[in-house]
Amino acid sequence: MFAVVLVGGFGTRLRPLTAHTPKQMLPICGVPMIEWVVSHLRDHGVREVGLALGYRPDAFLNAYPEGQIADVPYRIAVEAEALGTAGAIRFAAQEMQLEDTFLVLNGDVLTDLDVSALVEFHVQHEAEATIALQTVSDPSRFGVVTTTDSGQVEEFIEKPLLGKSPSNNINAGTYVMNRSVVDRIPEGRPVSVERETFPEMAEAQTLYAMESNTYWLDTGTPEQFLEANLDVLQGRRKNKPAMPVASIHTTSKVEDSVIGTASHIDAEATVKQSVLFNDCHICRGATIIDSVLADEVYVGEGTRLEGCVIGSNQRIEAGVTLIGQTEPES
Ligand code: GDD
Ligand code: MG
């Protein structure tokens, strides 16, 4: 089966990490997010992937010049301007000449969803499209879905007002779609699958949803990005990649953190609940807590960073204390 992966968002909430890098190229325990997504699809029999984007296609083409991501061949559909989620699906389906039923994924979601079971559910229910659902305690940030007992979607409400949500089941961002869905999407303007296409299909009673409560995380914010890393580290995911190699002084203290390749942590430094990308240098006695540091960040002696997101190539001088700060990427 073919899978369209939506990777066109700007990742604004993850700035400065996304200033020059698309969100899906950010590393989760040293492995770019897109590889996590595609290798999971590969495990469920996906044979080819289409990346739908408008922003920085070169970041993917440079990282995967052989035309494969996690051993799966990929193609790219580049929108001249952002077409919205449905517009992007339509554009990619046309560019890639999709004729059969295909998968669609929000590229910023990490999940252990049983994609094969979703496809089976779709076929059994003779649905036009099928959505995977996840149960969450605060559904207001998501698409909220109510279904009949047989799984037919009654209502799809994108980001309902706080306290106005009819259910705690949310759109988990993985869909199976028949080709006919593409013809429902108007051409020539941005269209949201969540705000237009799905509500319309719910009305037409052709949209289904399958409940699935497995590992699931939207990685859109720095907190969630940290969580995604720690979830792998602490074994909450099925797979664990080879960990990057870093040098850590024996008198330093590193807890619940991912330290990227060729990063150095000097004596008596402390790193907790943090993610360091590659080639970072943490000097003696520095403390880093609840923070994300992109490539080649230098943190001076005795410096303290707490809840910070630091862009690549930044130099934080000795003795400085930064709390909850975001440093621009140079
Ligand atoms: N190609 C392309 N073009 N991709 C886009 C565009 C576009 O114009 N707009 C958004 N995307 C991609 C994003 O990169 C992301 O992978 C996916 O579509 C979803 O967009 P987000 O901006 O991350 O949406 P969200 O997180 O607020 O909400 C979506 O995901 C939730 C689950 O995480 C919705 O689908 C919700 O209904 C859902 O519950
Ligand atoms: Mg998202």
**In this structure, is residue 58 part of a structural domain?**
yes
- Give the pLDDT score at 250: 85
Please give the number of the atom of ligand 1 that sits closest to the Cα of 83: 8
pLDDT for 283: 95
Whether pLDDT at 97 is above 70: yes
pLDDT at position 92: 97
Q: How far is the CA of 6 from the centre of ligand 2 (A)?
A: 10
The structure's pTM equals: 0.88
- Mean pLDDT score across all residues of the chain: 93
Q: Whose CA is nearest to atom 22 of ligand 1?
A: 9
What is the model's pLDDT at position 277?
A: 95
* Residues by chain with Cβ below 5 Å of ion ligand 2: 108, 218, 220
Residues 37 and 118 both lie in one domain: yes
Question: What is the span of the domain harbouring residue 254?
Answer: 247-327
- Output the residue whose Cα is nearest ligand 1's atom 25: 142
pLDDT at site 165: 86
Centroid of chain to Cα 104: 13
Mean pLDDT of 72-93: 96
Q: Among all chains, which residue has been given the structure tokens 């705000």?
A: 195
Average pLDDT score over residue span 65-88:
96
Task: Give the contacts of 164 (CB within 8 A, at least 6 positions apart).
Answer: none
Buried b (16+ CB within 10 A) or exposed e, 295-305: bbbbbbebbbb
* pLDDT of 325: 87
- How many domains does the chain fold into? 2
* 238 domain residue, yes or no: no
Residue 229 resides in a domain: no
Identify whether the C-beta of residue 6 lies closer than 8 Å to the C-beta of residue 171: no
What is the structure's pLDDT at 118?
Answer: 98
Per-residue pLDDT band for 237 (boundaries 50, 70, 90) equals confident
pLDDT of residue 330: 52
The reply to whether 265 and 198 lie within a common domain is no
* 162 & 213 share domain: yes
CA 190 to chain centre: 22
- Residue bearing tokens 């943090």: 274
Rounded distance between C-alpha atoms, residue 79 and residue 55, angstroms: 8
Statement: residue 329 has pLDDT above 70: no
